[in-house]
Amino acid sequence: MNEVVFLIIVLSAYILPVVIVLNNKRTQGHEKNGWLFGIIIFSWLGLFLYFLIVPKHGHKKKKKK
């Protein structure tokens, strides 16, 4: 039984970064796909880099002249 609980905890820790990026509004489109790919491969390191590199308030729309 302990092995099952341990497996659930490990899988949850691996899936949590993916869920965080999917629900975050800081990126969109193919940029989000790239971050998801990196996070699936590198898990928590990818999530740490995501929060360091991506702007805090997301993309700003350019004003038309």
Convert the pLDDT of each residue in 37-52 to its tens digit: 888 888 788 888 888 8
Domain chopping of the chain, boundaries = 2-53
The CB density around residue 35, as the number of other CB atoms within 10 Å, is 23
Can you list the alpha helix ranges (DSSP code H) found in 1-65? 2-23, 30-42, 44-53
Mean pLDDT throughout 20-43?
87
Who wins on pLDDT, 1 or 28?
28
Considering the chain, what is the average pLDDT of its residues? 83
pTM, 2 dp = 0.66
Nearest alpha carbon to residue 43 among 8, 17, 25: 17
Residues whose CB falls within 8 Å of the CB of residue 46, separated by 6 or more in sequence, listed in order: 17, 35, 38, 39, 40
Q: Is pLDDT at 65 greater than 70 in this prediction?
A: no
Alpha carbon of residue 17 to chain centroid: 5
